[in-house]
């Protein structure tokens, strides 16, 4: 009996629907914002991840985001119904975490209402200002922060006095901080009408805690002002401290492509 085209199409759909579909557990946890994929594997090894009441013991475990129940330390984790992406200009003297144990003002007060699971991508220290990304897409966040994906963060900073080219070259090539050498950075002088101090543009692929401040302190030229002006192709432009806006579709696509995610 010869099958009609419609019958063949229906059979193919039925075969597809009968297959077990899902995503790997480490990617699921990353997309939920629990951890990076590599960190998720560590959580699995530690026995902290459960699927439908049973401890997960394999990195290749598949998750059906609709039907399965995944728990991390006893709390259920879910994929966001919709991924959201915002650019935010963090003012100075605002902590870049959602909550602060010291009771200082945090960036959460600037978050748009009605969207669950938002968190900042990386941090800026209390006295620094500039561009931050706010999202509920855990996998994108992890990739933007990992130096392996070589997403460049651009800063403008003012330091005391005028560092020599010899000292700047040391920073460009990398110095040891806490026993580990920093990755090479680009440093370019910015000409501004100041004589006592010097402005620089710095481009880097990693972002350890207070890294730029510590690097310039090591060569005897402490940072006076620090502002992040770009992450990848996303620039702060004419935004003012406290401004927040949703990224355009094109901007999101560019960010994803920059760190190897399929659009």
Contact of 85 with 263, CB cutoff 8 Å: no
Catalytic residue of the set 14, 125, 137, 243: 125
Tokens 């650019």, located at residue: 87
Q: What's the angle, vertex CA 78, arms to CA 242 and CA 112, rounded to 5?
A: 15
User: What is the Cα 138 distance to its own chain's centre?
Assistant: 8
Residue 14 vs residues 10, 20, 21, 63: alpha-carbon distances, Å: 6, 12, 13, 21
Strands (E), 22-121: 23-24, 49-51, 54-55, 62-63, 70-72, 75-77, 85-90, 119-121
* Annotation marks residue 125 as catalytic: yes
Q: Strands 176-177 and 153-160: what pairing? A: unpaired
Buried b (16+ CB within 10 A) or exposed e, 218-240: ebebebeebbbbbbbebebeebe
Contact of 188 with 179, CB cutoff 8 Å: no
Q: Which residues are catalytic?
A: 125
């Amino acid at each position: 009996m010869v099958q009609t085209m419609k019958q063949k199409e229906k059979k193919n759909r039925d075969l597809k629907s009968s297959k077990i579909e899902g995503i790997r557990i480490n990617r699921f946890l990353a997309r939920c914002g629990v951890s990076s994929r590599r960190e998720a594997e560590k959580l699995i090894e530690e026995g902290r991840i459960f699927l439908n009441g049973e401890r997960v013991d394999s990195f290749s475990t598949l998750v059906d985001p609709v039907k399965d129940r995944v728990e991390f330390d006893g709390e259920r984790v879910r994929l966001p119904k919709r991924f959201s992406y915002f650019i935010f200009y963090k003012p100075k003297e605002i902590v870049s975490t959602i909550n602060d144990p010291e009771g200082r003002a945090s960036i959460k007060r600037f978050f748009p209402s009605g969207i669950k699971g938002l968190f900042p991508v990386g941090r800026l220290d209390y006295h620094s200002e500039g561009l931050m990304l706010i999202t509920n897409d855990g996998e994108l966040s992890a990739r933007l922060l990992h130096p392996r994906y070589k997403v460049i963060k651009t800063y403008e900073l003012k330091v005391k006095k005028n560092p020599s080219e010899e000292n700047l070259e040391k920073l460009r090539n990398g110095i040891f901080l806490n026993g580990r050498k920093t990755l090479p950075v680009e440093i370019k002088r910015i000409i501004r009408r100041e004589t006592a101090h010097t402005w620089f543009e710095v481009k880097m692929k990693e972002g350890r805690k207070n890294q730029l401040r510590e690097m310039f302190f090591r060569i005897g030229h402490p940072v006076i002002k620090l502002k992040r002006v770009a992450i990848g192709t996303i620039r702060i432009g004419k935004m003012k401290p406290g401004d927040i806006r949703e990224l355009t579709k094109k901007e999101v696509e560019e960010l994803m492509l920059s760190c190897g995610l399929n659009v």
